[in-house]
Structure 1
Amino acid sequence: MSLLGRLLKNRRAGETHMAWNLPNLQGPDQLTLTSQEFGDGDPLSLKHCAKQIRGDDLSPELTWSALPPGTAQLLLVVEDIDVPMSKPAVHCVALIDPATGHLEPGALAARQPGPGVRILRSTIGRGYHGPAPVKGHGPHRYVFELFALAAPVADISGTTPVDRARPRAFLPTVSAPVLGRGRLTGVYER
């Protein structure tokens, strides 16, 4: 076990500051988000982890249940809620055309996103960034949160393009009503 991991063992961001808990992203929990690659609460495979720990940084396949009528856009947020910081680390933010239906493996890549996927900034950069928790810190939960929005996301205050905004500045400004939402949690530990 790494010394740093042991020292930070009890320090975790927690769920309080997740996108899921933002007042503007509240809505009925009626979407079911699944993956053929892992079940809710199951471990993520190394291929979905960051390259720095010898993973492939490949975003997992994701499928969701029928969307509520009137869904104009989907918002996907992936957060590590066990990072030893005051707020969860945002590993990916994407806007998805509801006609897409599902995401193939690798569809959240920054350079070549899948059809109907628009990649936004995350805490780490652009695109999907897989798990790379501090060695010895214990299990980290990576929460994939999907929101069905009644209108497309607009630029922040009409001035900052949504593509350039940091996630903690952007997420609280989403003003479209959430028609439905769902989440799926994968776990990884080093």
Structure 2
Amino acid sequence: MSLLGRLLINRRAGEAHTAWNLPNLQGPETVALTSRHFGDGEAMPAAHAEKYAGGDNLSPHLAWTPPQPETAQLLLVVEDIDVPVGKPAVHCLALVDPASGHLEAGALNAREPAPGVRLLKSTIGRGYHGPAPVKGHGPHHYVFQLFALAAPVDGGPGATSVDRARPRTLLPAVTAPVLARGRLTGVFER
């Protein structure tokens, strides 16, 4: 166990400030979000961790049950709720075409995202940033949250303000009604 991990063992962001708990992102929990790489509450394979944490930084496969037909856009938020700071770290923030139905492994790669995926700024940068918790800090929970929105977040493909916004500014500003939502939690520890 590393000294830093031991010093921070009882300090964790928690779920209170996750996208899931924002008043504007409330909605029916009718989307089942799954991955063929891990189940809800299960350990994430090392391939999905950051390279410096021994992984390949490969975003996991994600699939979901179809949201309502009037869904205009899907908002995907991945947060580490166990970081030793005041708020969860956003590891990925993306807008997804609702017609896609799933994302294959690697679809959230910053250099080459899958068709229908628009990567926004996260706490760390654009694209998927896998688990890399402090050694010895204990298990970290990575919450994958999918929101089916009734209108696009940015109002159209020409808008650039959404691309520049930081997650803690963008997420509370989403005004589109949430038609459905679902979540999946993976666990990683080093």
TM-score by shorter chain over 0.5: yes
Q: What is the rounded CA distance, in whole Å, between the counterparts of 2:110 and 2:120 in structure 1?
A: 9
Q: What is the rounded CA distance, in whole Å, between the counterparts of 1:136 and 1:110 in structure 2?
A: 29
Q: Which moved more, 1:64-73 or 1:120-129?
A: 64-73
Counterpart residue number, 1:85: 85
Deviation at 1:11, TM superposition (A): 0.2
Residues 42-61 of structure 1: matches in 2 within 5 Å? 42-61=42-61
Opposite residue 87 of structure 2, the aligned amino acid is K
TM-score, normalised with respect to structure 1: 0.96
State the number of aligned residues. Answer: 187
Q: What is the rounded CA distance, in whole Å, between the counterparts of 1:66 and 1:88 in structure 2?
A: 28
Deviation at 1:160, TM superposition (A): 6.4
Opposite residue 3 of structure 2, the aligned amino acid is L
Residues 92-107 of structure 1: matches in 2 within 5 Å? 92-107=92-107
Match status 1:154 vs 2:151 = no
Opposite residue 68 of structure 2, the aligned amino acid is P
Superposed CA deviations along residues 99-148 of structure 1, whole A, max 9, x for unmatched, are 11100000001110011000000000000000000000000000000000
**Identity of matched residues, %:** 73
Residues 1-190 of structure 1: matches in 2 within 5 Å? 1-154=1-154, 161-190=161-190
Deviation at 1:66, TM superposition (A): 1.6
Q: What is the rounded CA distance, in whole Å, between the counterparts of 1:54 and 1:62 in structure 2?
A: 22
Q: CA RMSD in A?
A: 1.0
Opposite residue 87 of structure 1, the aligned amino acid is K
Structure 1 spans left out of the alignment, 5+ residues: none
Question: Once superposed, which parts of structure 1, at least 4 consecutive aligned residues long, lie more than 3 Å away?
Answer: none
Structure 2 spans left out of the alignment, 5+ residues: none
Q: What is the rounded CA distance, in whole Å, between the counterparts of 1:8 and 1:160 in structure 2?
A: 38
